[in-house]
Structure 1
Amino acid sequence: MSKYIPGNQKHLSLEDRVFIENSLNQGLSFKEIAKYLCKDPTTISKEVKARRASDWYHKGTFYNAKNFCVHRYSCRKVNVCDKILVCGIKCSSCPTCNQTCNVFEKEQCSRLNKAPFVCNGCSKKISHCTIAHKYTYNARFADRKYRELLSDSRSGIPITKHELRQKDQIVTPLIQQGQSPYQIAVNHPELDMSVRSIYAYIDKGLFSSRNIDLKRKPKFRPRKCHKTQITDRSVFINRTYLDFQSLGLDSFVEMDTVHSSRESKKTLLTFYFTEQKLFLAFLMNRCTKGAVRLVFEHLEKRLGTFEFISLFEYVLTDRGSEFGDPNALETGTNAIQRCSLYYCDPMRSGQKGGVENVHTMLRMVLPKGNSFEFLTQWDVNLIVNHINSTPRESLGGKTPYALALSAFGEDTLKALQLRCINPDEVNLTPKLIRFNR
């Protein structure tokens, strides 16, 4: 099943786990749960079995008070452990029965040994169940265990303490003699460490030497790392902001992305027409090159190739990794060049200030920290229509929709799924989405 599922399906989100918990409480099977979440049933089975919570002793339950033997109701044995000379207490009421009795047999439940592996959805109430070891699936507890495992798997170093001590005995004396990590890595290949690894071990305090012992490192500040930027520098050839300025354009399109909270991977791809102040937004399930290309192809299909070329002839964007394949964006489905893509300079978002400014209006409806997980394209279109129906002082009190209507025509705006909103009905608050669900 998994090969037919689009995107990265390796991890479950908190919302997925909440659905699993509710479904188990309703008595649904793993197959039914997996079908709704677009997962493999074994994924749900492994998730429940690995992250179920144990509750071996339930307060208020007399029957399973520390004695797990299946014979505890009919047992009449006394003083099996032979620890007390005079003991009149039945062994069935004593917890030591579990370790000392030769006929002890642990009570088990069939629900816990096979699917669903938990007590969720059981017809018996927990307070009346006689099974000592109970297992329940709690979504928030499971998500917390998942986060801890995710963090622990990425922490630490892949060597033993003995190996670390051997490396330290070589590196630290040489550092104190004034040698650089590069000298040490070249002269001692038995370390099996790169220069970058030696610097990292010293920085984390794993070696006896410290950063202050290095010759030059204390003089430099740590460099800023932009992991989301394009790494292939060849895409910027003839596409820099200087090349864009040489065109001397008055009308073009600015493109950017708006990210959701950490809980959701959904992203908004936004466009801004600088002359008409028209704003467009499209929901993407992932912030990837392929997702951006699909939006371009969808727009070209709805508008037609030549209408798309007239609207999106020149596009200016930032250096995000999702825009790292300009050839795929510039070339249409018919192998015709449908647009020309240009990139702003690094850390210069003001060079496409129009789209950055209209994002402030978007954030009035979708504040930062909100998840886009339950957002639909219909909701996005509603927000866009309200933004485009807001008069602008720079347009002489006209709305972007009215200006775009006279410039592009009604058919084009319908293809873009745009409509005019009554001035008294324009709403730029989170209530716009909340009340229209």
Structure 2
Amino acid sequence: MPFKPPYVCNGCENRPTCHLEKHVYHARKAQTTYEATLVRSRVGINLTPQELDELNSMISPLIKKGQPLSHIFAVHADDIPVCRRTLYNYLDQRVFDARNIDLHRRVRYKKRRAKHSVSRDITQRYRNKRTYKDFEFYMEHHPDASVVELDTVKGTRETGKCLLTLLFRSCNFMLIILLPRCSQECVINAINNLVETITLRLFRKYFEVILTDNGAEFKNPWDIEKGPDGKHRCYVFYCDPYASNQKGKLEKNHEYIRYVIPKGKSMQNFTQADMNKLASHINSTARDSLNGATPFALSKLLIDKKIPILTGQYEVSPDDILLKPELLEK
């Protein structure tokens, strides 16, 4: 065995005739040994049984309430001794009472179908000077304009009750209004009632621009832009067909609604009070996109404080947030 660097017999001239103990370096074998050691060092739970039990007691009840990990980490970051990636690994290893099935987003997404070429009629009267390009042009010249994204969420049948959703882009704060039917008349009545509730002054200030899709229920922009008295109150613009990403914040928020009201579930037994409760829990959920803040917290800074109060919203304590169907069960 060599007694000086590099302490191996590789390249030694006396190796064929040397009778001493020989040490030879094999690069491939060394790399394999290193990789095996690296894997072994990361196997298992790097917590004591007591620390693991405390973490389970805190995390599992919140996950079972339907709270996203983004919200849990935003609220309890100082109390969680591991990173989010490690927490997912622990869930994979089934060391908690909660399981992957309790997480809303821990699923595989279906492969998206290829978009087909569709002829788009952009000359429809209701879209005249209200296309997405017109919206971009308006925002370029009015960068401080308040934008609200508008859409509907349907139940089992399009003729039954549905939800009208309005989201303030500035803070992700969402209003949910229960409609008796998914029709132009119901949408216009709901907006007229909203104006009466929060006053025309606040509506003009915070609903200056409304961005929606091309659903049949929204194809009467004239009665949305002007009230029953004929006075102008907002501007309406439409996304391009098949481009839901143009109002992506609202589409993302609809996921939270579907946690509580799955697709195919009837909305006939719901009341407006139920929708206010649902919106309050959603608006009190912390978001990664808001750097750990909640829409409710940002709304206090970016919109008038009267709007949440007048529309029946209330802030929910972080650990009391429930985003499962049980929230609206009677």
Common topology (TM > 0.5): yes
Change (3 A) 1:326 1:263: closer
How much is the aligned-residue C-alpha RMSD, in angstroms? 2.3
**Superposition deviation, residue 231 in structure 1:** 10
Distance 2:242 2:158 in 1: 26
| Map 1:339-354 → 2, pairs under 5 A | 339-354=234-249
Within 5 Å, which residues of 2 pair with 1:88-237? 233-237=124-128
Check 1:409–1:240 CA distance in 2 against 1; reply closer, same or farther (3 A cut): closer
In the other structure, the counterpart of 1:394 is 289
Tell which structure's C-alpha radius of gyration is larger.
1
**Cα deviations by residue, 1:69-124 (Å, 9 ceiling, x for unpaired):** xxxxxxxxxxxxxxxxxxxxxxxxxxxxxxxxxxxxxxxxxxxxxxxxxxxxxxxx
Is the counterpart of residue 425 in structure 1 residue 320 in structure 2?
yes
Amino acid paired to 1:392: R
Matches within 5 A, 1:233-244: 233-244=124-135
C-alpha distance in structure 2 between counterparts of 1:396 and 1:357, whole Å: 16
1:140-172 deviations in Å (ceiling 9; x for gaps): xxxxxxxxxxxxxxxxxxxxxxxxxxxxxxxxx
Deviation of residue 264 (structure 1)? 5.9
Alignment of 1:380 onto 2:275: yes
Q: Which amino acid is 1:380 matched to?
A: M
Instruction: Return the alpha-carbon distance in structure 2 between the equivalents of residues 224 and 395 of structure 1.
Output: 36
SS of residue paired to 2:196 = helix
TM-superposed CA distance for 1:225, in Å, is 11
Alignment match, 2:161: 266
2:197 counterpart residue number = 302
Q: Residue type of the partner of 1:241?
A: Y
Specify the code of the residue in structure 2 equivalent to 1:375. F
Structure 2 residue 300 is the aligned partner of structure 1 residue 405 = yes
Deviation for aligned residue 1:246:
1.1
The verdict on how the C-alpha distance between 1:285 and 1:225 changes in structure 2, with shifts beyond 3 A counting, is farther
**204, 207, 217: which one pairs with 1:312?**
207
Q: 1:416 aligns with which of 302, 305, 311?
A: 311
Does 1:371 pair with 2:266? yes
Unaligned runs of 5+ in 1: 1-221
> Is 1:326 aligned to 2:190, yes or no?
no
Sequence identity percentage: 36
Q: Aligned partners of 1:291, 1:225: CA distance in 2, in Å?
A: 30
Question: Cα distance 1:406–1:224, how it changes in 2: closer, same or farther (>3 A)?
Answer: closer
Provide the C-alpha distance between the structure 2 equivalents of 1:339 and 1:300, rounded to a whole number of angstroms. 11
Worse-matched range after superposition: 371-380 or 410-419 = 410-419
Cα offset, 1:235, TM superposition = 1.3
| Alpha-carbon shift at residue 394 of structure 1 (Å) | 2.1
Q: Residue type of the partner of 1:336?
A: K
- Once the two structures are TM-superposed, the CA of residue 332 in structure 1 deviates from its matched residue by 1.6
**Secondary structure of 1:246's match?**
helix
Q: Compute the TM-score of the two structures, normalised by the length of structure 2.
A: 0.60
CA distance in 2, matches of 1:393, 1:330: 34
Aligned position for 2:137: 246
Deviations, residues 308-342 of structure 1 (Å, cap 9, x unaligned) = 11111001000111011100000023322111000
| Cα distance between partner residues in 2 of 1:341 and 1:393 | 29
Aligned 8 A contact 2:158 2:181 in 1: no
Counterparts of 1:324 and 1:231, CA distance in 2: 13
In the TM superposition, what is the alpha-carbon distance from 1:275 to its structure 2 partner? Answer: 1.1
TM-score, normalised relative to structure 1? 0.46
Query: Does 1:275 find its partner at 2:153?
Result: no
Give every structure 1 segment of 4 or more consecutive aligned residues whose post-TM-superposition deviation is greater than 3 Å: 222-226
Q: SS at 1:386's partner residue?
A: helix
Classify 1:231/1:344 alpha carbon distance in 2 versus 1 (closer, same or farther; 3 Å): closer
CA distance, structure 1, for counterparts of residue 221 and residue 151 of structure 2: 14
Q: Counterparts of 2:239 and 2:211 in 1: how far apart (Å)?
A: 7
> What is the rounded CA distance, in whole Å, between the counterparts of 1:268 and 1:374 in structure 2?
13
Q: SS where residue 289 of structure 2 aligns?
A: helix
